[in-house]
Amino acid sequence: MIHLEDTITAMATPNGVGAISIIRISGNKAIDVADSIFKGKMHITDANTHTVHYGKVVDAQNNFIDDVLLTIFKAPNSYTGEDVIEVSCHGNPLIGQKIIDLLLEKDVRIAEPGEFTMRAFLNNRIDLAQAEAVIDIITSRSDASLRGARNQLDGLLSNSVSILRNSLLDTLSFLELELDFSEEDVEFVAKDELLKKITLIIKKIDELLNSYRFGRVIRDGVNVAIIGKPNVGKSSLLNYLLKESRAIVSSTPGTTRDVIREEISIDGVLFKLFDTAGIRLSEDIIEKEGVRRSNEAIVNSDLVLFVNDVEQGYSEDLYDELRQLTKEDRIITVMNKIDLSSKSDLGDGIKISAKTGEGIDNLIDQMKQSTLGSANYSEKSAIVSNIRHFQCLCSARNSLSDAIVSVNQKYSGEFIAVDLRNAADFLGEIIGEVTSEDVLNNIFSKFCVGK
Amino acid sequence: MSNGYDIIVIGGGHAGIEAAHAGAMMGCDVALITMDRFALGRMSCNPAIGGTAKGHLVREVDALGGIMAGTADHTGIQFRMLNRSKGPAVWSPRCQSDRKLYSEEAYRIISNSPNIEIVEESVVEILAAGGKVVGVSTASGKFINSSAVILSSGTFLNGKMHTGLVSTTGGRYGEKPSLGITESLSRLGFLSARLKTGTPPRLKKTTINWEILEEQAGDDSPQPFSYRTDKSVFPFLPQVSCFITHTDDSVHRVLEKGFDNSPMFTGLIKGVGPRYCPSIEDKIVRFSEKRQHQLFLEPEGLNSDQIYLNGFSTSLPANIQFEALRKIKGLENVEMVRPGYAVEYDYFPPHQVDLTLETKKIAGLYFAGQVNGTSGYEEAAAQGLVAGINAAAKIIGKRELVIRRNEAYIGVLIDDLVGKSTDEPYRMFTSRAEYRLLLRQDNADRRLLKYGYEYGLIDKAIYNELKEREIIISKAVNFCNDTKINANFINAHLNSRSLSEIDSTETISKLCKRPELGLSEVLKFVNTTEENRLFARALMENDLVLEQVEIELKYEGYLKRQDDMIKKLEKYESTSIPLTLNYQSIKALSAEGREKLNKIKPRSIGQSLRISGVTHSDIAVLLVYLKN
């Protein structure tokens, strides 16, 4: 359901084009939410409308994401007529995505296509003549979702969400049976049984949630940063990977002078390789901008290829710095130039020669393994690739967790039913089904009730 | 206007008497047209009022100033609060009624109402001119004029009763059908369809072996339905028990012998029956794995020699019914006073009425009760009341009454009927109410008394008493949030109940949130100041306030979530759509959305959201169009 009371966000600039990206947030929580991810000279909750603030965006662990400019437009003097925040960040799609991800953790949802404009219209911010245009935007959305429904990926997801929702409705029917037909001679559900059913549904939802990383990989590709000290062979590795991959997707120079971006496809998975050639980390650097870009690439990568030269040895200090910026399981340690070394102990990591190609297969396997995980996704697996679906599943899961708490606290069925019904509604949003009749229909078909 | 009334009510069942009573209370001249003045408020089916969700409706009807609750209180012979082991939202009051006394009490109220004239006639045509109702004509050839007509004729429209392959015309056992109304409404463009419902055989009380049956007694301290009933003299009548028995294989086998002559299975009955109230033959066929079915033996009245066999609704041939009955435990020597039967009748799929229950086609014409496809006395009474209030409001120039889903089960009922229509008899269930936790039987007055007062159905004194109570409730909630209990005072008690102790101090609210602790139990330990002690004591003695405060504190989190949801949807609920909106001209709507919207003609965006087939982008399109 489109809730006009929700606070919404989306990229306001085209993806990946231009030196600056703008993320727009609109709704009554916009200022509070922006403030919670922003570190500037002052809290923007105290700031005046139409002011611009310089500061940093940080995540929940206080990790630096980007330097940004944040502009405040208070209701009603904004594009939508609601409180609006515009975040101007560096024009790297990864950063934009990261900031949106942070916002989505804070009771903000992704805007539907055309929703900013629609809100603007409903709040008298744009002129009546634009009504038709608004409707076009809205209806093009339904066309798009129609097309989406034909997509196999979405079809598989709908199918498994629908199965989950049905088993949730079954569980709900048991509860409702006890409430509406307590005088009847039917068996009611035991607490243990109820917990078992709910837990099973949570487990299935988790499987779907876990597929989101894979789903995004399929949709957006995997961002891989190649990091290492000078002359460890980063460029050679990049070149070898390009040669090795069966399809070179594109070879465009990066938008910045220093970061090169290449896209390769390996077994249907798109890897976007960011070579940080020419820039170094901390001690070696002179140029502050260089550090920023390098950090940025690491923070926002799904994978980091940490390249070392077997002769120079494993660079522990650089690894420690990497660990500040990304998770351990995202780092693949690579020991390069094994063709040049006579050492018997080549250290830990994947041993390769970017020159001869020795060990590259292992590296590619590891890259796939790290990205896709051990889960065995096939063409027939239901996979979440859409952020809206992901959000609905998260919400459904939260409601089910609430339900478990209520069951354990021995709340009566009507309270637990609220949580289960919410969960069913969230699942229903994914497949476009919301109806209260389902539960009663289920009861009538399964149980002999009625005097 | 000679020979004219403000309002004509057709039918004196549970919908009709509420409609007539409400209209009359609001100052309108009302003609209540019935074929039999002594059939007013007659219980055609089981001799009981209330039950899950239905009990809520009765309390709501009472808060709005209706007569059902009081009538049930005065004629009830067993009162029970169902679902007491569950949370307060699903507690539902129910009573067994003395069928004869109930009808007599209804007749007393209606005949004592100075503005109501009971007219013994059969209406054969509803007359309209220029899109407005003008009156009715009767079988005896009279024309009666009125500004409004409320049709509440129950199962009588082209009513047909079936027992086995024998069918007779009639709206109820021993009563004639109503002919002509459906046809006159069809000519006015209304759509009609058939529904079916059934009733079980009636048994002779003295031929049942009561000794061997399981007894089901009423509550030890019965609670009345009505806020206005004087509890000090309640209950008014002696209280009696119901009894329980079961069918078994031998009963089922006898019934099966009659399947070849079943009007249901042979297709004689065309109408759709209720799935929640299946006939015994239906239960046997659809749930063949179930070896037995529970039956309730309900007394028809204190002095009646008849017993109502709840759970054994059937339209099988009478001889089969009788043979099967005698196989049931306790009924080995039973005499059947009259067989069960199914009744088929016309209804008008309810998307044809507005949320006020006025028809969309003909101004001044209202439908209430089974003609709208519902079943149940309580559902009928609720609609009769709303139709009566709205018909009168229109005449005397008051605003219309539309009750929302978040305000009452009555709101859920009418919104469901109008927005979803129905093709089987519609019954209320608590699970139909998405705001179930808020719509409790204990707070119906807090939700609705203001409307009863607004339309002149509730006395000022009663309304003022509620307003004062509301002030005390909010004071008491604050008191519980602010007042702390000292560990020294309460820990010994917590210990004695094997509950975990508190550290130093804890607010009353927080303690009360523990499932094991009741509010009055905690209030005993208030010991900060003399003023607080006095307040706590006063609160403990005020049952009505105490109950509300306790529920608000205990379930605060859940109640707040429901409140938040209401707020979230408020914008949609309050964005109204004119009935005249031309959906055909809005090209951007989806084809299905356009068709459904055009059929139902919702009054608000909120209502549109609940129509199946209307997509989110249809809603967005509507929002944009309405802005224009």
pLDDT of A262 strictly over 90: no
Q: Last residue of some domain: B318, B341, B364?
A: B341
Are both A364 and A388 inside the same structural domain?
A: no
Among the listed residues A233, A232, A269, the one whose alpha carbon sits nearest the alpha carbon of residue A364: A269
B217 vs chain A: nearest CA distance in angstroms? 14
- Supply the mean pLDDT for chain B: 94
Domain annotation covers residue A60: yes
B42 falls within a domain: no
Residue A336 has pLDDT above 80, yes or no: yes
Whether residue B274 is contained in a domain is answered as yes
Residue B612, pLDDT score:
81
Q: Give the pLDDT confidence score for residue B619 in this predicted structure.
A: 86
Total count of domains within chain B? 3
For residues B115 and B93, give the distance between their C-alpha atoms in angstroms, rounded to a whole number.
Answer: 32
Q: Which of A218-232, B127-141, B180-194, B328-342 has the lowest mean pLDDT?
A: A218-232
What is the model's pLDDT at position A312? 83
**CA neighbours within 13 Å on the CB side: how many for A249?**
15
Structural domain includes residue B98: no
- Beta strands at A269-275 and A108-110: parallel, antiparallel or unpaired: unpaired
Question: Is A162 a member of any domain?
Answer: yes
Domain that holds residue B471: 460-558
**Interface list for B 494-523 with A (CB within 8 A):** 515
Instruction: Please indicate, yes or no, if residue A378 is contained in any of the structural domains.
Output: no
- A66 and A207 inside one domain: no
B572 contact residues in A (CB cutoff 8 A): 4
pLDDT for res A450: 58
Q: What is the pLDDT of residues A294-319, one digit of tens each?
A: 777 787 788 999 999 888 888 888 88
Asked whether residue A250 carries a pLDDT value surpassing 60, the answer given is no
Q: Are residues B496 and B552 in the same domain?
A: yes
Do B212 and B285 belong to one domain? yes
Kindly report the nearest CA distance between residue A396 and chain B, in angstroms. Answer: 15
Mean pLDDT over residues B110-114, rounded?
A: 96
What are the pLDDT digits (tens) for B409-428?
Answer: 999 999 999 998 899 999 99
Per the CB < 8 A criterion, the answer to whether B572 and B606 are in contact is: yes
Q: Does A144 touch chain B (CB under 8 A)?
A: no
* A contact residues 321-380, partner B, Cβ 8 Å cutoff: none
CATH number at residue A410: 1.20.120.430
The answer on A298 and A391 residing in a single domain is: no
B612 reaches A (C-beta below 8 A) = yes
The least confident of A251-260, A317-326, B75-84 is A251-260
User: Does residue B420 sit at the A interface (CB-CB below 8 Å)?
Assistant: yes
Residue of chain A with shortest Cα separation from B412? A436
- The answer to whether residue B176 is domain-embedded is no
- C-beta atoms of B87 and A414 within 8 A: yes
pLDDT tens per residue across span B458-473: 999 999 999 999 999 9
pLDDT at A284 over 70: no
Say if the Cβ atoms of A181 and B52 lie within 8 Å.
yes
Is residue B432 less than 8 Å (CB to CB) from chain A? yes
pLDDT reported for residue A374: 56
* Cβ-nearest to A118 among B310, B313, B620: B620
Whether A43 and A80 map to the same domain: the answer is: yes
**Residues constituting chain B:** 628
Disruptive mutation site among B617, B618, B623 for chain A (greatest number of A CBs within 10 Å): B617
Residue A111, domain member (yes or no): yes
Could you tell me if residue B584 is inside a domain? yes
Cβ <8 Å between A451 and B620: no
Q: CA of A12 to nearest chain B CA: how many angstroms apart?
A: 21
Count up the domains in chain A and report the number: 3
Q: Each residue of B224-234: pLDDT tens digit?
A: 999 999 999 99
Question: For residue A131, what pLDDT is reported?
Answer: 62
Per-residue pLDDT at B2 exceeds 80: no
pLDDT exceeds 50 at position A253: no
Map residue B337 onto helix, strand or coil: strand
Which of the four pLDDT bands, split at 50, 70 and 90, describes residue A119? confident
Strands B242-246 and B123-129: unpaired
The residue from A92, A126, A145 where one domain ends is: A145
Q: Which of A92-101, A125-134, A141-150, A381-390 has the lowest mean pLDDT?
A: A141-150
Domain containing residue A91: CATH number: 3.30.1360.120
Together in a domain, B306 and B230: yes
Shared domain check, A15 and A59: yes
Cβ separation A415–B558 shorter than 8 A = yes
CB B426 within 8 A of CB B373: yes
Q: What is the pLDDT of residue B472?
A: 97
Q: What pLDDT score does A244 carry?
A: 63
For chain A, give the mean pLDDT. Answer: 80
Q: Do A448 and B274 touch (CB under 8 A)?
A: no
CA distance B361 to chain A (A): 28
Question: What does the DSSP assignment read for B74-117?
Answer: HHEEEEEEETTTS-GGG-EEEEEE-HHHHHHHHHHHHHH-TTEE
| Complex-level ipTM beyond the 0.90 threshold | no
A377 occurs within a structural domain? no
CATH of the domain at B276: 2.40.30.260
Per residue in B395-407, pLDDT (tens digit) is: 999 999 999 999 9
Residue B267 lies in a domain: yes
| Lowest-pLDDT choice from A150-154, B20-24, B196-200 | A150-154
**Cβ separation of A180 and B615 shorter than 8 Å?**
no
B294 touches chain A (CB under 8 A): yes
Nearest to A29 by CA among A6, A46, A11, A50: A6
B290 and B211 within one domain: yes
Q: Do B533 and B596 fall within a single domain?
A: no
Let me know whether A201 and A253 are in one domain: no
Q: Are residues A116 and A182 in the same domain?
A: no
Q: What is the pLDDT of residue A286?
A: 44
What percent of chain B clears pLDDT 70, i.e. is strictly above it?
99
Looking at the predicted structure, is the pLDDT value of residue A143 above 70? no
- Domain identity same for B278 and B331: yes
The reported pLDDT for the residue numbered B99 is 97
A414-433 pLDDT, tens digit per residue, is 999 999 999 998 998 888 76
| Claim to verify: residue B548 and residue B593 sit in the same structural domain | no
- Per residue in B441-458, pLDDT (tens digit) is 999 999 999 999 999 999
> In B, which residues are within 8 Å of A178 by CB distance?
86
The closest alpha carbon to A299, from A274, A269, A266, belongs to A274
Residue of A4, A142, A181 lying closest to B571 (CB–CB): A4
The answer to whether the Cβ–Cβ distance between B431 and A176 falls below 8 Å is yes
Which domain does A226 fall in, by range?
220-372
CB-CB neighbors (< 8 A) of B432 in chain A: 436, 440
Largest CA distance in chain B: 83
Q: Which residue does chain A place closest to B557, by CA atoms? A: A415
Query: How far are the Cα atoms of A167, B107, B333, B615 from residue B385, in angstroms, in the given order?
Result: 40, 17, 44, 34
B17 Ramachandran zone, left/alpha/beta (phi>0; psi -120 to 50) = alpha
**How far lies B85's CA from each of A64, A179, A410, B94, B431, in Å?**
54, 10, 12, 15, 17
Do residues B509 and B617 share a domain?
no
Q: What is the mean pLDDT of residues B197-225?
A: 96
Residues 96-125 of A with CB under 8 A from B: 112, 114, 118, 121-122
- Among A29-33, B108-112, B514-518, the minimum mean pLDDT is found in B514-518
Kindly state whether residues A292 and A354 are assigned to the same domain. yes
Looking at residue A16, what is its pLDDT? Answer: 53
pLDDT band for A136, please (50, 70, 90 cuts): low
What pLDDT, in 10s, does the model give residues B256-293? 999 999 999 999 998 888 888 899 999 999 888 899 99
Whether the per-residue pLDDT at A141 is higher than 60: the answer is no
Alpha helices in A151-190, H assignment, sequence order: 152-180
A327 and A355 assigned to the same domain = yes
When CB atoms are compared, the residue of B429, B562, B617 closest to A141 is B617
pLDDT in the model for residue A246: 42
Same domain, A261 and A389: no
Write out pLDDT tens, residues B549-590: 999 999 999 999 999 989 988 888 999 999 889 998 888 888
CATH number, position A361: 3.40.50.300
Rg, chain B, Cα only: 26
pLDDT score, position A260: 63
In a domain, B166, yes or no: no
When scoring A140, A181, A183, A189 by the number of chain B Cβ atoms within 10 A, the one with the most, hence best to mutate, is A183
Q: Which of B46, B276, B560 to mutate to test the interface with A (most CBs of A within 10 A)?
A: B276
Domain end residue (candidates: A372, A401, A430): A372
Residue A355 within any structural domain of the chain:
yes
Q: Considering only alpha carbons, which residue of chain A is nearest residue B555? A: A415
Last residue of a domain, one of A124, A145, A166: A145
CA distance A15 to A219: 14
Residue B430: list chain A partners with CB under 8 A: 176, 179-180, 414
Put simply, whether A314 touches B (Cβ < 8 Å) is no
Residues A52, A134 within the same domain:
yes
Considering the domain architecture, whether residues B307 and B225 belong to the same structural domain is answered as: yes
Interface check B429 vs A, CB under 8 A: yes
pLDDT at A237: 87
Q: How far apart are CA A109 and CA A120, in angstroms?
A: 17
Q: What angle do CA B248, B253, B259 make, to 5 degrees?
A: 125
Cβ of B571 within 8 Å of Cβ of A421? The answer is: no
A32 located within any domain = yes
The residue of chain B with its CA nearest to that of A187 is B290
State whether A52 and A126 are in the same domain: yes
Q: A451 in a domain, yes or no?
A: no
A435 to chain B: which residues are within 8 Å by CB? 612
Question: Is the per-residue pLDDT at B391 higher than 90?
Answer: yes
Same-domain pairing of B554 and B580: no
Out of B526, B558, B590, a domain closes at B558
Higher pLDDT, B26 or B623: B26
B289, B572, B594, B616, best to mutate vs chain A, most A CBs in 10 Å: B616
CATH of the domain at B616: 1.10.150.570
Test A5 with B623 for CB contact under 8 angstroms. no
Are B496 and B545 in a shared domain?
yes
| Domain boundary pick from B281, B310, B341 | B341
Confidence category of residue A259, pLDDT binned at 50, 70, 90: low
Of B293, B431, B436, the CB nearest to A440: B431
Question: Would an 8 Å CB–CB cutoff place B290 in contact with chain A?
Answer: yes
Domain match, B554 and B579 both: no
Residue B289 lies in a domain: yes
Segment among A130-139, A402-411, B459-468 with least mean pLDDT: A130-139
Interface probe for B, chosen from A176, A179, A405 (most Cβ of B below 10 Å), is: A179
